[in-house]
Amino acid sequence: MKILLMGHPNVGKSVLFNRLTGANVIESNYPGTTIDYTKGYMRVGGEEVEVIDVPGTFSLDPKDKAEEVAVKMLHESRDATVICVIDASKIERGLYLVLEIIEEGYPVAIALNMWDVAEDKNIKIDVVNLERILGVPVVSTTAISGEGIKELVSRSRGTAQVEVDDIFERVED
């Protein structure tokens, strides 16, 4: 199994990568720290899982070198499950990329990361309803503390492709 960690710059992908793999890649509080991908491994139920920390991208239409690397990595990993890491305090910004990746036919799970920040800002997210609408696992996480990581890994296994048309139908309901 292969997992790609994708999302905008500065949403905690590298922190999540370090939590999952035990690696120690550079983490910082400014965008663009990861400009190439980083590979690591974790064991889940006796199975070795490859985890790839992909550079941040705002969309699948690359505007700079880091985004080109991210999109290329995605297209070269047709067999991967994509964990879309979204800043929970800025959820609407991250959903566009999620929909693009779903539209490309990848199995997706969503990590609503920095959940603690969203709570501190009194931002309320109906995770159950978001999951129902999107048809993919949605898990609140705080990568820096490890909150939600086990659930994210568990729920990411066996994810399936979703049709974007199905999402639009659920939104209309």
Say how far apart CA 156 and CA 127 lie, in whole Å.
Answer: 15
Say how far apart CA 23 and CA 153 lie, in whole Å.
Answer: 17
For residue 7, how far is the Cα from the chain centroid? 6
Sign of CA dihedral 91, 79, 32, 34: positive
Say how far apart CA 28 and CA 125 lie, in whole Å.
Answer: 26
Say how far apart CA 110 and CA 83 lie, in whole Å.
Answer: 6
Domain boundaries in the chain?
A: 2-172
CATH of segment(s) 2-172: 3.40.50.300
Helix (H, G, I), strand (E, B) or coil at 8: coil
pLDDT tens profile 17-62: 999 998 765 544 444 555 677 889 998 888 899 999 999 999 999 9
pLDDT tens profile 106-148: 999 999 999 999 999 999 999 999 999 999 999 999 999 999 9
Phi, then psi, of 81 in degrees rounded to 5: -95, 135
Between the alpha carbon of residue 9 and those of residues 30, 34, 54, 55, 92, the distances in Å are 8, 8, 10, 7, 15
Question: What angle is formed at CA 143 by the lines to CA 156 and CA 88, rounded to 5 degrees?
Answer: 80
Percent over 90 (pLDDT), the chain: 71
Q: Is the pLDDT of residue 100 over 90?
A: yes
For residue 139, give both structure tokens. 């898990």
Yes or no: say if 14 and 36 are a contact pair by the CB < 8 Å rule: no
pLDDT tens profile 51-63: 999 999 999 999 9
pTM of the model: 0.88
